[in-house]
A and B are shown apart, each in its own frame.
Chain A
Amino acid sequence: MAQVKVLTKNIDLANVGAPCDYQRYMDNGGYEGAKAAFAKQPQEVQQIVKDSNLRGRGGAGFPTGLKWSFVPMNFTGQKYLVCNCDEMEPGTFKDRALLYGDPHQLIEGMLIAAYAMQMTVGYIFIRWEYRKGAALVDAALEEARKNGWLGKNIQGSGFDFHLETHLSAGRYICGEETALLNSLEGLRANPRSKPPFPQIKGFLGQPTIVNNVETFGNLPHILAHGAEWYKKMGTETSAGTKIMGASGRVKNPRLWELPLGVSLRELIYDYAGGPARSGQDIKAVIPGGLSTPLLVPDEFDTLMDFDSVAKAGSRLGTACIIVFDQGDNMVEATENIMRFYRRESCGFCTPCREGIPWIWNMVNAITQREGKEGDMELMAEAGRWLSHTFCAFAPGAQGPFLSALEKFRGEFEEFIRARGAA
C-alpha cells in the first residue's frame, strides 16, 4: 500500500521542520472542516463522526462517535474538551510530529469536536519533553485567536471556544485519561475509578471528552470531505489512515501515514527497510508502542488494523512498532521494559505497585546470571495478576512481559542455567 497524505498534508514526516503557519494552513484548505461543521447542527456533526467509523488513536481504538454520544447534551453547565498529548509511550512519537508539524490541524480538530459537543473550554495536555512543541502550539493558538477561530463568537457562529495548553509534569501515567484529568486539576496523577466516566464526570466533575492528538487531527478532513470519503480509506472496521512508525533494529526508523490495514511485514521490510544490522534477522516486534504483546516472524503477515492485530493476540495500540533483531537479547529487553513500568507505576494499586518491581527484580537477577529455577513460574504467576489492576497500565506491562516469557522461554532458561557465570 502507498503512503497517503491526509493528516500529513502539511507535514513532511521524513523531516518535520518548522510548523505549518496560519497562512500556509489556510492556503492549503485550512479551517474548511470547521466551516463545514459550523454550517451544521452540533448533533449532525456528531453523526458524521459516528458515520465515519473513526476510532480513537490514543491506543484503545474506541469508536470516537460512540464515546462522544455519552456526553449529556442537555447538560447546561460547563463541559470540557481535552486533548491528550502526553505521548510517553516508549517507541511512540506520532503525536509529536502532528504537534510540531501542524498545530492548526489540532486546533481545528478540537474546534470541531468542541462545537459538536458544545464544549466552550478546552485544554491541550502536553508531555513535558514536548515543551518546545507546546510553545509552537501557543503561537498557533494566538494566530487562531487573532483570526477569529478561537474565543468568542467564532466566525460569527455564536459559538465560543477557549483553548489553552497545559504542560504535564512528566509521568507516563498522566497519559491515562482519568489520571490526566487529576493531573490537570492539580491533584496526584492517580487514575480515577470508572464509572463515572469522564463523559459524565470529568474535569472538575463536569462532562469531559479526552481524545488523542491524532484523533482530533482526523476531524477537519472528515468534516471537509464527508464520512463516506473517509470510510473508503482503511478497512471496514478500522477506517481511515494512521500515522505509523518504526524504531529499533530497522534501516529506516521514522513515521509514515498509511491506510489502516497495511501488513506488518510491509511496514517492517518495505517502509522501515528491514533489518538494520546485516546478518541479524528480525525476531520480534512490539506492534503498538511498548504496552502491547510481542509478535514474532510467523505473525508478521498480520494486518495493521485494530481487529487484525487483536486477533493475532496483540493490540494495534499506537501503531508505532519497536523492532528487535537476532542480536538482541530478549531477557535484557524484558528487564529494560519492566524497569520502565516499575518506574512509571503510579503506585495506587497492589499488583502493579508491588508485583511489577518483584517481576523486575527476578528478571534483573536473571540477567545478572542470578536466576533460580522456579523464577519463570513465579514470574508468570505474579504476571498473571496484572490483569486485575485499577487501570490499564499494568495490563500494558503484562502484554510485552508475558509474551516475551512465553515466546522466548529458551532465552530465559539459558540465562538461568548460566547462573553464576557473569
Chain B
Amino acid sequence: MADNIKITVDGQVVETSAGENLLQACINAGILVPHFCYHEALGEAGACRLCAAMVSASADKPARLEMTCMLKAADGMVVSLNDPYAEGFRKGVIEDLMLNHPHDCPVCDEGGECSLQDMTVTTQHIHRRTRFPKRTYENQYLGPLVHHEMNRCITCYRCVRYYRDYALGDDFGVFGSRDRVYFGRVRDGVLQSEFSGNLIDVCPTGVFTNKIFREVYSRPWDLQTRRSVCVNCSVGCNVLPAFRHTTFRRIVPERNDEVNRFFMCDRGRYGGEFTNVPSRLKTARFEGPCLPVEEVTARTAAKLKQIAAEHGGGAIAAIGSPRASLEANAALSMLMKSLGGRISMFANNAERDAVRRATAITVSGELNIASLPEMEKADFVLCVGGDVTGEAPMMDLSIRQAQRAGAPVFIISPRAGKLDSFSTNSLRVKPGEESSVLDHVLSGSVPPKGALSGEQTDFAEALISALGSAKHPLVVCSVLHEDIGVVDAAYWLAKRASRLDRKCAIAFMFPSANSVGAALLRDDVAPETLHADISAGKIKALVVLERNLALDGSPFSDIEAAFSKVEFTCAIDFHENATTQQASAVVPCASHYSSFGSFLNYEGRAQRFDSLPIPGEWSRSAGEMLLSLVEATGNEEAIGEAAFSDVYEITPESNTALEALAVGDLGNRVRLAGKLPVAKSPRRNLQTATHNGLVAWNIELCFGSEELSMLHGPTRELAPQPFVELNPADAESRKLSEGEVADFSADFGLVAPLRLNANLAPGVIAIPVLKTETAIVPEEVKA
C-alpha cells in the first residue's frame, strides 16, 4: 500500500496516502471541496475549474492557485480553500456557469438534489451581473428512461466520460465546441446502453432526469426512503427506493463499496415500477369471494390442517421462490414442517441441479468469489455460457472496467452478447459444448485429433497463454441456462487455475435475486417429482410463494390443468398473475420494496433490506403473512423467538452472522463448507435435445427476460417483440431469410420473425426469453 502522509488543509491536518488525488483526499477527510467534473469513479478532468485552492508543496514554499483534482497528495502539502483569492476564483467560476443557466430552480426537476444549486449557494454567488441573452439548446428524445434538458448543462463532461469512457457506450457523445458544446446523440433515439440511467446521477445538474419520476414530480425531500437491495437479478445492487405517500416513485443506487458502489443498471433502476403495477393484489380471497386477510389465513390454516389429518402430510406440498426473501422461504418451510408437508425450491430439475451446484461452489469458501470491485481489478476474464449483460448487468459494467484496464476478455457461449464487442477472443459453441473446450484448457494438453475444431483449439490455446500470465484471473459463468456441466467446467477451470501465487476468482450468474438463499434452505422434493405427484393426484394441498409458475420454467405450463388435480391451492404474492388466478386461496403480500427480509446475492453475500412503513400499504411482507399462517395452524413453538431459525441454520458456525445483519451493512458473505456437494471431478455436459438439426438456446435479455421488470413500467417498452435467430448458414439451408416469419411450432413451439445472426453458433436456434404476461387487472380494480 502507498505510504501514509500528512497534508494540511486550512489548518486541519489530514492523513492520506501518497499519490491520492488531492481533492479525494480532502473529501475523504470530510472537507467539502466544491467540484463538478471530478467524480470518484470517473476521475479528474480539470474542466470545471471549481476545485481550485491555493496549494504549496510545503509551508515555506509559495502557494499557487491549483485545481486540487489535478494534483496528487504529497507529504507536507499545504492547501488553502479559504484563501480569498481562491474563494474569489471559485465564485467567478460559478458566475461563469450561471451566465447561461436557466434560473428555473423552483420548477426544475433537479431542485433539491442539484449540485449546481449547492455550489452556487456555497460560493455565495447571489447576484446576477450579466445582462445578455442566454444560449439555448434543443433537447433530444433519448428513449423512455432518461429525459434531456440541455439548457441546464454546465459542460463538466461527466456524462460523456461516463457513457463513453467508463461504460463504453458509443451512441452518445459530445458535439460542437466553444460555448456551443452539446451532449447527446447524433440524432434523437433510444439510448442503447443498459446503464444509461446512471447519466442521471453523474450529471451534477438536471440535464438528465428520470423520465418516469418527473412525470408525477415530487421534491426529493418529500420522499420517504429506506435502504434496500435490488430484486431484478442476482447481483444484489444496493438501492434507495423512494415512496411518496402510498406510491412508489423511483429507485436510485445506494453506495455499497463491496457491491455496486456508484452505479446500477437500468433494469434495476426502472424495474422497481412493478411496485405500482395495476394488478397489485389488495385483498385476500378464499374460494371465490374477497375476505379480510385474517379470515383467509384462518380458513387456509384450517383447510391445510384438515387435509393433513385426512391424507397425511405427504399430501401437502409447497413451492418456494428465489425472488422471495430468505425469511419468507424459511417461514414457508416452517409451515410445511408443522404440517409434515414437503417443500420444493426450484422451477425444474435442471435448474435445481445447476443452482445447487453453483451455490455449493459459491459458499464452500474454496474459491474466491469476486465482488464487483474485485471484478474491476481482474487482469483476465473468461465468461462461460451466457450473456452477462442480460443475466447480471452490473457484472458486465465491472468487466468493462477490467477490459479498460487492459484485461483480456475471453467469451465462450453459443451467441454473442454486447460484451463480445470488447472481447479479446470469442468462441461460438453449441449449448453445452463449453465444457469440452474448457476441458482441453484444464488438461493443458493437445486433445485427440478431431476432438476440437481448429477454431476451438486456437481459442483454448490463446486462453491458456493469457491465463498463464494473469495475476488476478476471473471466471464468470452462467447458471441461467441450467447446465450443471457448464457450471462444473467453470469451477474446475478456476480451481486448476488457482496456484500458490495466485487465486482464480469465480462468479456465477444466478437466475434470481435470492437464488443462493433459496438453494441453501430446505428442499425436500425435486420439481419434476412434485409435478408427477400432482399429476397423479397425490397432492391434495399446494402452497405457492411468490412464484408465477407460468413464466418461471416450471413443468406446469398449464396451471389450470395442474391445479385442478389439487384439492386446495394457496398462492401468496403481491400481484395477480396466472398462478394466483388459479389458486383456491390468495394471500396478498407487500411488494419487494416495502418488504423486509434478506437476500443472498451471487457471492452468497447476505444483505438485509428494510420495509418502509408506508401509510396505506395494505399488506405485510410474505414472511410475516406466512408466520401468521404457521401460527394459525396452531404450531406455536415453531415461531416465537427463533421465528426464522431455519434461515439461521444455514450459518451453523455463526448464527449471528445473519441475525446481526443490519440494513445498510456491506453484507456478510455466507460461507459453509460441506452443506451441498461439490463435483468430485469435471463432468460432461448434459445431452441437449436436437430437433430438426437445431438446438435451442435461450437469449437472456436485460429487458424482457426478467419477470418483475416486465410487469410494469418503461422497462417493458425496451423489450423486443418475439423473434427467433439462426446462423445465416442454417437459415440458408432451410431456405429462410431475414425478417420472414418462420414456423418452428412443431419443434420449438413458436412462430416468429427470423433474424439472421452470424454471431450465433451454427446448429443453434436462439429464442429470446420474454416474460410477458398480459397484465391482469384484479376484479376489485375493475369495479
Contacts and interface: CB of A to CB of B under 8 A. Distances in A.
Interface of A: 171, 188-189, 193, 342-351, 353-355, 357-358, 361, 365, 372, 378, 381-382, 384-385, 388-390
B132 A358 contact: yes
B384 to A, nearest CB: 32
A219 B257 CA distance: 56
B96 A350 contact: yes
B99 A389 contact: no
Contacts of B752: none
Nearest to B92: A385
Contacts of A385: 89, 92-93, 96
B180 A347 contact: yes
A378 B47 contact: no
Given A351-B93, A351-B96, A361-B132, A342 B178 contact: yes
Secondary structure of the B side of the interface? loop
B132 A346 contact: no
B669 interface: no
B178 A188 contact: no
B49 interface: yes
Contacts of B178: 342-347, 353, 357
Interface of B: 44, 46-50, 52, 65, 70, 89, 92-93, 95-97, 99-100, 129-132, 154-155, 157, 174, 176-181
Nearest to A188: B174
B741 to A, nearest CB: 43
B100 A390 contact: no
A358 B291 CA distance: 70
Given A349-B46, A378-B129, A382-B92, A358 B177 contact: no
User: Which 4 pairs of residues, A with B, have the shortest CB-CB distance?
Assistant: A354-B96, A347-B181, A361-B132, A345-B178
A342 B97 CA distance: 16
Contact of B96 (A343, A345, A355, A390): A355
6 contacts: A349-B46, A350-B155, A353-B155, A372-B131, A382-B92, A388-B65
Contacts of B89: 385, 388
A348 B65 CA distance: 19
Given A346-B177, A372-B131, A385-B96, 6 more contacts: A342-B179, A345-B177, A345-B178, A351-B49, A358-B99, A365-B132
B179 A357 contact: yes
A314 to B, nearest CB: 22
A180 to B, nearest CB: 15
Q: Tell which of B48, B96, B130, B155 has the most Cβ of chain A within 10 Å.
A: B96
Nearest to A193: B46
Contacts of A346: 177-178
Contacts of B65: 388
Contacts of B92: 351, 355, 381-382, 384-385
A375 B645 CA distance: 76
**Max count, chain B CB within 10 A of own CB: residue among A345, A346, A353:** A353
A358 B174 contact: no
Contact of A354 (B46, B52, B100, B176): B100
Contacts of B52: 388
Contacts of A189: 177
A343 B179 CA distance: 8
A342 B181 CA distance: 13
B179 A347 contact: yes
B249 to A, nearest CB: 34
B632 to A, nearest CB: 66
Contact of A347 (B48, B100, B177): B177
A187 to B, nearest CB: 11
A392 to B, nearest CB: 14
Given A358-B96, A381-B92, A385-B92, A350 B47 contact: yes
Contact of A350 (B70, B97, B129, B177): B97
Contacts of A350: 47-50, 93, 96-97, 154-155
B49 A349 contact: yes
Contact of A353 (B130, B131, B132, B179): B179
Given A347-B178, A354-B99, A381-B92, A388 B129 contact: no
A370 to B, nearest CB: 9
Given A350-B96, A385-B93, A390 B177 contact: no
A376 to B, nearest CB: 13
A390 B49 contact: yes
Contacts of A388: 49, 52, 65, 89
B19 to A, nearest CB: 13
A345 B132 CA distance: 19
A299 B177 CA distance: 37
B179 A354 contact: yes
B49 A193 contact: no
Contacts of B154: 350
A348 B174 CA distance: 11
A350 B119 CA distance: 15
Which one of A343, A344, A357 has the greatest number of beta carbons of chain B within 10 Å?
A357
A95 B48 CA distance: 34
Contacts of A353: 96, 155, 178-179, 181
A381 B46 CA distance: 21
Contacts of B95: 382
